[in-house]
Amino acid sequence: MTAKQRVSYFYQPEVGHFYYGPSHPMKPHRIKMAHHLILTYGLYRKMECYRSHPASPSEMAAFHTEDYINFLAKVTPDNMRGYSNQMNRFNVGEYTDCPVFDGLYEFTQLYTGASLDGAVKLNRGDCDIAINWSGGLHHAKKSEASGFCYINDIVLAILELLKVHARVLYIDIDVHHGDGVEEAFYCTDRVMTFSLHKYGDFFPGTGHIKDTGAKEGTGFSVNAPLTSGMTDDAYEKIFKPVMSKIMEVFRPGAIVLQCGADSLTGDRLGCFNLTLKGHAECVAFTKSFNVPTLVLGGGGYTIRNVARCWAYETSVLLDTELPNEIPYNDYYEYYAPDFKLHLTPEQRENMNTEASLESVRVDLLNQLIGMKGAPSVQMLEVPPDFEVIKENLEAEKERKSTKEDREGEGMNDGGSGDDKRNRNTKDGKGEKRDHDAELAA
């Protein structure tokens, strides 16, 4: 048993007040509900709680283009008619799943700032685990909104972690493929992405098992394509062996864990059948490696269950048991009729067969075993992790050198030129998908 991990929690009270629109499934209110559960369960006493800063345009520009950031900063529901060309170009507006709503840009600043604050705290060695339930918007691209996501706080946080850590592991347990993060780091061996997701006629359409990375990053994208009805047991049988092998061969200095709660049973958009325990088992297992970890939110559209999930996962990160009775709080009525924390899986078939799960597990383990001793991995074992950056001067020096590294050849900034994925995967399911199928269900 290692020393207790120090947990920092980042929150902005305003983040729950933004509204995508009446029929839109993304409800930022769920973050406030989760926060109130965390408070009333008393978990705030066991971690350091911070009000995070709003991210600045220059912080966002570490990944996103300036014209895209400027557009997000300026467009409002009142003036959007004057921006129709840019709305088209950036995939924003009423004909997309990324509407223009009041305070849109401020919302992106809040969730992004909290992820960056978490990454900086981890980089300084001030905590072992940093939590931002408002973050995890994994679909956003360099200059394009996608799947309810505008600014990719995850890519920005990973870039921050790469200032200090030679290798960063990204894990994504959202029901959707973590396409924006994968694309940003598809050609580098400094970031490994591991996404488990529903694949086949489902948003965003990417995440085939054979999409394993390109150039320097070949082998460093790990995709577990799954189908409807995933149970706790089935999920664990993929997650644990693959994760163990990743830790063995990749040996990350830091981890970013996206905990999208739309992989839970009963989600409005998702189609998996995980309980809080199965979902949180991934959190507990990741924590057991005792590597500095940034824990983020993500999708989740049955909002009472999203709040349950992230409150429970906060308790898991704090090694604290929670009573199954939901404590009285401002949103108590949302937890009717049972007012219990934990969820019961639906009685339905897991469409993932034993054989299909075994095949995914074996293919991914083979992909990872094949990497052992890869020159790029050996080369990257050399730079040590900085524990603490004491002087601003040192920090500045580090920032400059990393910036130069990133601007050098083979830079993988998520631009269209960097995306080497084969869009036409052999079964023809690699094309772009929208959310229509799920929303109609």
174 forms part of the interface with Zn ion (CB under 5 A): yes
In the complex with Zn ion, which residue's Cβ is closer, 97 or 174? 174
Residue 205: CB minimum distance to Zn ion, A:
13
Residue 385: CB minimum distance to Zn ion, A:
31
The window from 100-108, 260-268, 355-363, 414-422 that contacts Zn ion (CB under 5 A) reads 260-268
Is 235 part of any known ligand binding site? no
260 forms part of the interface with Zn ion (CB under 5 A): yes
In the complex with Zn ion, which residue's Cβ is closer, 30 or 163? 30
Phi, psi of 378 (to 5 degrees): -60, -45
In the complex with Zn ion, which residue's Cβ is closer, 213 or 300? 300
- Nearest alpha-carbon partner for 250 in 384, 394, 372: 372
Is 301 part of any known ligand binding site? yes
Residue 403: CB minimum distance to Zn ion, A:
32
Residue 394: CB minimum distance to Zn ion, A:
39
Going residue by residue from 76 to 115, which x/- string records binding to Zn ion, judged by CB under 5 A?
Answer: ----------------------------------------
Query: Considering only residues 219, 299, 345, 430, which one is a binding residue for Zn ion as defined by CB under 5 A?
Result: 299
What are the respective helix, strand and coil percentages of the chain, to the nearest 5?
40, 10, 50
418 forms part of the interface with Zn ion (CB under 5 A): no
CA torsion 137-141-143-146 (nearest 10°) is -60
Is 427 part of any known ligand binding site? no
H or E element: which one contains 342? none
Residue 261: other Cβ atoms inside 10 A? 31
The window from 172-180, 215-223, 238-246, 364-372 that contacts Zn ion (CB under 5 A) reads 172-180
178 forms part of the interface with Zn ion (CB under 5 A): no
Half-sphere exposure of 435 (CA within 13 A, CB side): 19
- Nearest alpha-carbon partner for 34 in 334, 246, 408: 334
Tokens found for residue 91: 């995939």
- Nearest alpha-carbon partner for 58 in 15, 116, 8, 4: 116
Query: Considering only residues 179, 262, 418, 419, which one is a binding residue for Zn ion as defined by CB under 5 A?
Result: 262
Please give the Cα distance from 51 to 10 (Å, whole number). 6
Catalytic residue among 139, 177, 197, 208: 139
35 is catalytic: no
Q: Which of residues 4-63 bind Zn ion (CB under 5 A)?
A: none
In the complex with Zn ion, which residue's Cβ is closer, 123 or 134? 134
- Nearest alpha-carbon partner for 149 in 26, 12, 58, 309: 26
Distances (CA, A) of 108 to 66, 196, 248, 304: 15, 25, 35, 23
The window from 31-39, 90-98, 114-122, 295-303 that contacts Zn ion (CB under 5 A) reads 295-303
Tokens found for residue 70: 């400027």
191: which strand partners?
A: 168
The window from 123-131, 237-245, 292-300, 359-367 that contacts Zn ion (CB under 5 A) reads 292-300
Please give the Cα distance from 366 to 178 (Å, whole number). 22
Residue 284: CB minimum distance to Zn ion, A:
21
Residue 262: CB minimum distance to Zn ion, A:
4
The alpha carbon dihedral of 174, 66, 63, 57 has a sign of negative
The window from 121-129, 252-260, 364-372, 423-431 that contacts Zn ion (CB under 5 A) reads 252-260
The window from 115-123, 175-183, 301-309, 336-344 that contacts Zn ion (CB under 5 A) reads 175-183
In the complex with Zn ion, which residue's Cβ is closer, 144 or 179? 179
Going residue by residue from 210 to 249, which x/- string records binding to Zn ion, judged by CB under 5 A?
Answer: ----------------------------------------
Q: Are strands 48-51 and 7-11 parallel, antiparallel or unpaired?
A: parallel
Query: Considering only residues 141, 176, 197, 208, which one is a binding residue for Zn ion as defined by CB under 5 A?
Result: 176
Report the alpha-carbon angle 250-252-254, nearest 5. 160
CA torsion 180-355-281-325 (nearest 10°) is 110
Count interface residues toward Zn ion (CB under 5 A). Answer: 5
Tokens found for residue 75: 């467009």
Whether the Cβ atoms of residue 305 and residue 264 lie closer than 8 Å to each other: yes
Half-sphere exposure of 314 (CA within 13 A, CB side): 31
Q: Which residue is nearest to Zn ion (CB)?
A: 299
Q: Tell me the binding residues for substrate.
A: 97, 147, 301
Residues with catalytic function: 139
Q: Tell me the binding residues.
A: 97, 147, 174, 176, 262, 301
Q: Tell me the binding residues for a divalent metal cation.
A: 174, 176, 262
Residues that bind Zn ion (CB under 5 A): 174, 176, 260, 262, 299
